[in-house]
Chain A
Amino acid sequence: MSTHKTLLISGMFLLVVHGATQAQEKRIVADPPALVGDSEELMPGSPAEVSGENGGFGVVATAEEIASIDIDVTPGGAGLPAGSGTHAIGAEIYEAKCSVCHSPDLQGVAVLGGPRLIGGRGSLASDKPIKTVESYWPQASTLFDYVNRAMPLTLPGSLTADEVYSLTAFILGEADIVDTAMILDKDSFAEIVMPNAEGFYADPRPDTP
């Protein structure tokens, strides 16, 4: 909140100024909030003006308001937007916007914290499991949803629906999960089967004696 920022800054300034002016015996205090009438008491906050049902708590959310932030995509495909993409277009977008952190061969760049995206199939039961989109993620919808909401790191939320379809097609194509000739859209999305789709089960705890 800007008020807080102002307070913080003026507080810091005062501390510095205080030292400088100590010699002149001048004492400075913070600006007080508004006063109550003629008294010296500080004015407390008041509730905002309200009206409506439920004690006036909240208003009905409009379809537009919901649509503007309802970006999730579910395993059943709900939330997938109009548009489409291909492996070939995805390759170009990946090269331009993703390869710096995830490496041109999708193997990740550890020093930048960019995780490996493909490979590792069959490693999960080994001493060194490699958890990637290809080897571990149970749902393709998660890939679309996550890329759409949080990638690329420097400009999250900036990809168009077509770009996210293309990147999904590219990553899943490189992982040999879908055919590289596939045109990915809302309908064809349902055909995708992730290799580790059956690799999860519900929490069985307590599991200790």
Chain B
Amino acid sequence: MKPEFPSDLYSDSERKMAEALVETENHALKTTDSTEEDCDCKDGMFNGMSRRRMLAVSAALPAALMTNAQAQGQEAPPGSVAYDVLDDSTSRQGRVILGDGGYGTRSQFENSKRWRYPTASLDSSWSMTPIADGHGVITPSGLHFERHHAGIPTIDPDNHSLILHGLVDTPMKFTMADLYRMPSVTRTHFIECSGNGLTEWAAPTLKTVQGTHGLTSTSEWTGVALSSLLEICGVGDGAAWILAEGADAAVMTRSVPISKAMDDAMLVYAQNGEAIRPEQGYPLRLMLPGFEGNTHIKWLRRLEVSDKPFMTREETAKYTDLMPDGMARLFTLEMDAKSVITFPSGEMKLPRPGFYEISGLAWSGRGHVVKVEVSADGGRSWTEAALQEPVLDKCHTRFRLPWNWDGTELILQSRATDSTGYVQPTIAELVALRGTNSVYHLNAIQSWKISAAGEVTNVHA
């Protein structure tokens, strides 16, 4: 049952990509809901081990070296370990302290995970955060979405340094030890890939909120203010842009306005209280609060101050928004206000009419969220939701609204307003202005249809 991707809207390669993505999402839904074996055709579509390979590895271990749980073929979801489950947990001592080596794992009964966008290359791809599974606003570090252009490098922080040069009085080299020792800054911010929702311009395509909105995540970040380093080096006259460069095999580069660098830009080495994860840029990442994700250069090794932007591949050939007249927008850096209901959301089913708490996330790259409204009639009337405190600048904000579903078919939507007064637009308004070929920066109101049977589906309304 393949959805149609009409040729007047999709080129051959786009259609192939969209079909593969739908297939991946179906696959993810299937493995969550049932115990069906993976078919061979799906092997290799995900990073990490497939069910088949995990079983093969378990079988290869001598029986004496396995816990009972492993011996019985029980699988532990990623990030967990399968331990034996007693009928009565009070009847015997539990596991020894530090049996985990001193670093804990999550419960074997929790299986929330990222899934990978099915690009042809395993090196250049992205994975999506299961935002419907989240609580509060912090994304667990292991579930933070990823976008890599050349895989994840392994970098020893003792051998890593940052060079800051170009239009400065004194070019400087900083080791990680220098940065760890400097006065630190801790702030909680979202990062959103500007490709979040790219499948949704022309028609509702992916079924779950992980597929439609999974390229955004929030962490508490710690590091140093970029302005502190620039002050040490002394910014030269005429400085207007900074090139940031990563130490991955793509040697990823983006140009950043110096105004942002001197404002709230950070160089972060920690995420959610521990060192930043390798897939998020260990040991050092550029953090540009509210800017599109691609500019937050990971594995940061070099900053070059200049009077002009560098016009790198990622800021010209990619991450530019093509308009219907054939012209394209450059440096669309701030992520506009956006919100989405994560409960209820696509592929969920409300078991019966009655009370539910509607919940979701809202954020803005230009400030903080001042209001989230929810509509249960396709946008004709709106009710203000409660915002969970604290409401932070350029950060996911949790909203909640108690709701009684009367069992009728309806459309649920949420609409965010940020501190600049900007109101999240409808998809029709965005498409009227930008057409359907701009790929990036889709921040439209998301519509979920609730059927009389309680089934939730992704629709354009």
Contacts and interface: CB of A to CB of B under 8 A. Distances in A.
B260 to A, nearest CB: 13
Contacts of B158: 1
Interface of B: 8-9, 11-13, 16, 61, 64-68, 70, 81, 95-103, 119-121, 123-124, 149-150, 156-158, 163-165, 170-175, 177-178, 180-182, 229, 232, 243, 245, 249-251, 253, 301-302, 304, 306, 308, 310-313, 316-317, 320, 322, 324-334, 336, 422-423, 425, 429-430, 433-434, 437
Contacts of A75: 308, 310-311
B433 to A, nearest CB: 5
Nearest to A12: B101
B250 A150 contact: yes
Contacts of B172: 58-61
B99 A29 contact: yes
Given A2-B156, A146-B313, A156 B249 contact: yes
Contact of A48 (B124, B181, B328): B181
A72 B249 contact: no
Given A15-B81, A29-B98, A50-B181, A76 B316 contact: no
A98 to B, nearest CB: 15
A47 B250 contact: no
Contacts of A129: 322, 326, 437
Interface of A: 1-2, 7-8, 10-12, 14-20, 22, 27-30, 47-48, 50, 54-61, 65-66, 69-72, 74-76, 108, 110-113, 124-125, 127-131, 133, 136-139, 141-142, 145-146, 149-150, 153, 156-157, 199-209
Nearest to B314: A146
Contacts, number: 220
A74 B67 CA distance: 59
Contact of B322 (A8, A10, A18, A124): A124
A57 B181 contact: yes
A108 B251 CA distance: 22
B329 A149 contact: no
A137 B306 contact: no
Contacts of B327: 124, 199-201
Contacts of A133: 317
Given A61-B165, A202-B331, A69 B311 contact: no
B182 A201 contact: no
A20 B99 CA distance: 13
A149 B181 contact: no
B326 A199 contact: yes
A127 B5 CA distance: 13
B19 to A, nearest CB: 12
Contacts of A10: 101
Contacts of A72: 243, 245, 253, 304, 310, 312
B336 A205 contact: yes
B177 A17 contact: no
Contact of A59 (B173, B301, B326, B434): B173
A18 B302 contact: no
Contact of A138 (B163, B311, B322, B422): B311
A50 B173 contact: no
A70 B304 contact: yes
Contact of B65 (A17, A59, A113, A125): A17
Given A156-B249, A199-B328, A7 B101 contact: yes
B8 A203 contact: no
Contacts of A202: 329-331
B99, B101, B324 — which one has the most chain A CB atoms within 10 A of its CB?
B101
Given A15-B101, A145-B253, 9 more contacts: A10-B101, A15-B81, A15-B100, A16-B61, A58-B175, A110-B12, A113-B121, A145-B312, A150-B313
B142 to A, nearest CB: 14
Give me the 4 closest cross-chain CB pairs, A-B, nearest first.
A11-B101, A125-B326, A113-B120, A19-B67
A66 B163 contact: yes
A2 B157 CA distance: 10
B316 A200 contact: yes
Given A16-B65, A200-B316, A150 B249 contact: yes
B174 A57 contact: yes
A58 B96 CA distance: 44
Given A113-B119, A138-B316, A19 B9 contact: no
A100 to B, nearest CB: 13
Given A58-B174, A61-B165, A137-B317, A209 B429 contact: yes
Nearest to B318: A131
Contacts of B178: 50, 56-58
A124 B174 CA distance: 44
30 contacts: A1-B158, A7-B102, A11-B100, A11-B103, A15-B81, A15-B100, A16-B61, A19-B68, A20-B64, A20-B66, A29-B96, A30-B98, A48-B181, A50-B177, A59-B172, A60-B172, A69-B301, A76-B308, A113-B124, A127-B437, A136-B328, A142-B313, A146-B313, A149-B251, A150-B150, A156-B250, A157-B249, A201-B328, A202-B330, A202-B331
A142 B433 CA distance: 29
Contacts of B250: 149-150, 156
Contacts of A110: 12-13, 16, 120
B192 to A, nearest CB: 15
A172 to B, nearest CB: 15
Given A11-B101, A113-B121, A202-B330, A125 B304 contact: no
Given A18-B96, A200-B328, A202-B330, A58 B165 contact: no
A65 B163 contact: yes
Nearest to B93: A27
A112 B330 CA distance: 28
Given A153-B123, A200-B329, A207-B433, A47 B180 contact: yes
B98 A112 contact: no
Contacts of A138: 311, 316
Given A137-B317, A156-B249, A208-B429, A74 B306 contact: yes
